[in-house]
Structure 1
Amino acid sequence: MNFQHTEDRRMLADTLNRFLSDQYGFATRDKLARSAAGFSHELWGRFAELGVVGALFSEADGGFGGDGFDIAVVFESLGRGLVVEPFLGALVVGRALAHAGSDAQKALIANLVEGRAVGALAHDEPGSHYELSKVTTRAVRGSNGWVLTGAKAVVHQGAQADFFLVSARTSGAVDAEDGISLFVVPIDTAGIAVRDYPKIDGGRAAEIVLNEVCLGDDALLGERGAGFETLEHSIGAGVLALCAEALGAMEVAKEHTLEYLRTRKQFGVVIGSFQALQHRMSDLLLEIEQARSAVINAAAALGKGRIERERALSSAKYSIGRIGTRVAEECVQMHGGIGMTWELPLAHYAKRLVMIDHQFGDEDHHLERYITLGRS
């Protein structure tokens, strides 16, 4: 396997990293993360102008990338900058539209790529505990289409989205893979209630209540009851994106900690000269390289068959969850008390690493999933 990125990917990473360094410093990011919207619509448009969103989609879908390594390159840079703009929602929703959408629905991808719209996945529910097939929201046939009733939890950028991709059960038991249908739902549709709130790691999320939401037949994405495959396909890309984002955050946490060890003095000498801290840092560097290997493996497997792809993704998410938590803990501890302060960027990287473990399934969930897929 060739571990070197193509020239185009290296140029994309360099361009994005320079933009983040010049326009997205920590003070700017912190202000955006705590704002009423949780991100900047203006910057979302500027990211799109740079081609960053387009890199997440194939040429057939209006982008110029779409490969696993394209996703990894973009999100590793986003992780380095702790970017709060709605890239993950654009990726997951956009790839679902590309995978199963009608021509009219696929046209929405252009709005995402050009930064003119925000899409949000509304799939997780209270009590679902990461199980992709557990859907209790119901969709029943009405006189002129569909009627949706249910609730969705932790919808990232939910209140700021222009439209949702909503999962609902049209048949089968609440945990069955068959019988899940997907719907494209504009946020201003009658019957939708949104409760917006800030996230601990920056940005915003929302709880969504669907109270007899009436939709036309054109809202159904793909075939009735066949939404599980589309969900698995699109969320798989999201898992890879989160793993790459975590890798970028780990690299910055590592750099900040190394710099601190080189400059902080105790007893008249820099603390980086203490053998105990050298050993801890060496172990951490090895762990981060293992995380990078897991991301590379997942990126390479994204276009392969279902079992190989999903096992690689679950393996990477398990590794990232375990290693990310350790990096967060070790880096904060080696900084001492200052590592917990709001003013120090490291504390925000640590929080983001911990929270990434809980998006699209934590390490325990993905370890069990990896084992289960191995028996298939």
Structure 2
Amino acid sequence: MDLSLSDEQKQLQDAAERFVRDKYTFENRRKIVATDRGWLPENWAQMAELGWLGMSFKEEDGGYGGGPIETMIVMEQFGKGLVLEPFLPTVVLGGGMIAAAGSAAQKEALLTPMIEGKKQFAFAWLERQSRYNLADVSLKATKDGSGWSLSGHKGVVYNAASADQIIVLARTAGGAREEKGLTLFLVDGNAKGLSRRDYPTQDALRASELTFDKVSVGADAVLGTVDAAFPVVEDAVDRAIVALCAEATGCMDAINAATLEYIKTRKQFGVPIGKFQVLQHRMVDCFTNAQEARSMTLMASLKIEDKDPVVRHKAASGAKVQIGKSGRFCGQSAVQMHGGMGVTDELSVSHYFKRLTMIDLIFGNQQHHLTRYSNLAMAA
């Protein structure tokens, strides 16, 4: 099997690398973090102009006919720069679910402007009791005439403050934690009855706590089929996991490079500490962990469109397990080799370590996905 990138994919990689190099120096990123939005509209517009917002969608949906490999390429470079623009919640999650479950009218009204950089999305699924169970949903959607009324709470909703539409996972039938009876709804970001508390996360992104108090939506707000949203959500989350794994590989490359440079210049006993054999061995271990993570991410990217859902689920969970293991090792090693400075805000390694830690937690940590993979393997 030839795993080398095509000429078009190499051009995409070069363009993403230039974007990160020009827009996301460490100091530039600190300035972006301090803005009201936490990301720059001009960067988002440039992503749209470069075609990144539509690269992974089918041509009939207004995209450019790419797929998970193109997403992997861009996300890896985003990881190297700790890019803040809401690519994952808008394009991978929001756009992915609309492309998979949306009607022709919904795709035209939402996907086309999203690809043009004129609409953003957020995905609200997590609740206080949910932990990592996608089906643990208590927010209720009840029939209200021809439409629906939504009441409940959602937490840690990334990009909710900037989203034009929030895709909400609600329970329309069944009991707690049942996979059947879940429905996706498109809710306007400024809908009456929707209140929001915004905050920065540990890794400098923006998230919100959302409260729905009898938020009314029309029948056309249903995304997909009533009571049958779980497979759509599970597939979209698996794709998001693979994208996060690609981002993590970029983070690991960057944190390893910063650490290697540091031990080459930091002197102790009159010599660079990189001369000490134990640190040389540790850097080799960091490199090996990063390569293992990259291999698992590539495998998952190749399998995430398999027709068999079990294959897709196992690929995503397998990669997430390796990313959790490798990310922790590279992050902890970087901090240890930097000494106490490794955890300070002034050094980039602390920011990469924070992001790697958050990536491990989003949509299930290493232990959760190890259990999920084991259960899938036994059931096969």
What is the CA distance between 1:203 and its match in structure 2? 2.0
2:89 aligned partner: 89
TM superposition shift of 1:79: 0.5
What is the CA deviation profile of residues 32-54 of structure 1, one whole-angstrom value per residue up to 9, with x for unaligned ones? 12322111122111111111222
Q: Provide the secondary structure at the position in 1 that maps to 2:361.
A: coil
Structure 2 partner of 1:132:
134
Q: Distance in 1 between matches of 2:26 and 2:60?
A: 36
1: CA distance, partners of 2:127 / 2:65: 32
Please state if 1:334 is matched with 2:337: yes
The 10-residue stretch of structure 1 (31-40 or 209-218) with the greater mean CA deviation from structure 2: 31-40
Mapped to 1, the partners of 2:43 and 2:93 lie a distance apart of 20
Aligned residue in 1 for 2:217: 215
Aligned to 1:103: 104
Which amino acid is the alignment partner of residue 64 of structure 1?
A: Y
Report the equivalent of 2:116.
114
Deviations 1:165-209 (A, max 9, x none): 000011111111111000011111111001000111112100011
Q: Give the alignment of 1:178-197 within 5 angstroms.
A: 178-197=180-199
Q: Residue 80 of structure 1 contacts residue 252 of structure 1 at CA under 8 Å; is this kept in 2? A: yes
SS at match of 1:54: coil
SS of 2:163 mapped into structure 1: coil
Instruction: For residues 241-289 of structure 1, give each alpha carbon's deviation from its aligned partner in whole angstroms, at most 9, with x where no partner exists.
Output: 1000000000011111111111111111111110111111111111111
**Is 1:34–1:202's contact at 8 Å kept on the other side of the alignment?**
no
Residue in 1 aligned with 2:239?
A: 237
Task: Work out whether 1:2 is the aligned partner of 2:2.
Answer: yes
Identify which of 354, 359, 364 aligns with 1:356: 359
Partner-residue secondary structure (3-state), 2:122: strand
Structure 1: stretches of 5+ with no match in the other structure: none
CA distance in 2, matches of 1:372, 1:312: 13
- Partners of 1:375 and 1:180 in 2: CA distance: 26
Matches of 2:292 and 2:22, distance apart in 1: 30
Distance 1:237 1:57 in 2: 13
The residue that corresponds to 1:248 in the other structure is 250
How do 1:10-89 residues align onto structure 2 when only pairs under 5 Å count?
Answer: 10-89=10-89
In the aligned structure 2, how far is the partner of 1:234 from the partner of 1:112?
17
Match for residue 309 of structure 2?
A: 306
TM-score by length of 1: 0.98
Q: TM-score, normalised by structure 2?
A: 0.97
1:188 match: secondary structure: coil
Match of 1:324 in 2: 327
Q: CA deviation at 1:56?
A: 2.8
d(CA) in 2 for partners of 1:127, 1:325 = 26
Partner Cα separation in structure 2 for residue 112 and residue 234 of structure 1: 17
Compare 130-139 and 339-348 and name the one that shifted more. 339-348
- Alpha-carbon distance in 2 for matches of 1:331, 1:62: 43
Residue in 1 that maps onto 2:278: 276
* CA positional deviation for 1:59: 1.9
Amino acid corresponding to residue 316 of structure 1 in structure 2:
A
State the distance in 1 between where 2:2 and 2:175 align. 45
- Of residues 364, 369, 372, the one that matches 2:372 is 369
Shift of 1:58: 2.5
Query: Does the Cα contact within 8 Å between 1:34 and 1:198 map onto a contact in 2?
Result: no
Following the alignment from structure 1 to structure 2, what is the Cα–Cα distance between the partners of residues 9 and 121? 28
Question: Post-superposition shift, 1:323?
Answer: 1.1
Q: Distance in 2 between matches of 1:55 and 1:25?
A: 25
What is the aligned length?
A: 376
Q: Distance in 1 between matches of 2:331 and 2:56?
A: 28
Distance 2:360 2:215 in 1: 32
Alpha-carbon contact 1:99-1:230 (below 8 Å) kept: yes
Alpha-carbon distance in structure 2 between the residues aligned to 1:205 and 1:125:
13
Q: Percent identity?
A: 42
Where does residue 205 of structure 1 map in the other structure? 207
Which residue of 287, 291, 294 maps to 2:293? 291
Q: Which amino acid aligns with 1:365?
A: H
Distance 1:354 1:223 in 2: 35
Distance in 2 separating the partners of 1:12 and 1:241: 16
Give per-residue Cα distances to partners, 1:332-365, cap 9 Å, x unaligned: 1111122122121111111111111111111111
Structure 1 residue 16: deviation in Å?
1.3
Task: Tell me by how many angstroms 1:66 deviates.
Answer: 3.8
Q: Look up the equivalent residue of 2:177 and give its one-letter code.
A: D
What SS class does the counterpart of residue 124 from structure 1 fall into? coil
Counterpart secondary structure, 1:197: strand
Residues 320-340 of structure 1: CA distance to partner in whole angstroms, max 9, x if unpaired? 012111111101111112212
- Deviations 1:50-108 (Å, cap 9, x if unpaired)? 11222232222222144221111110011111001000012111010011101221121
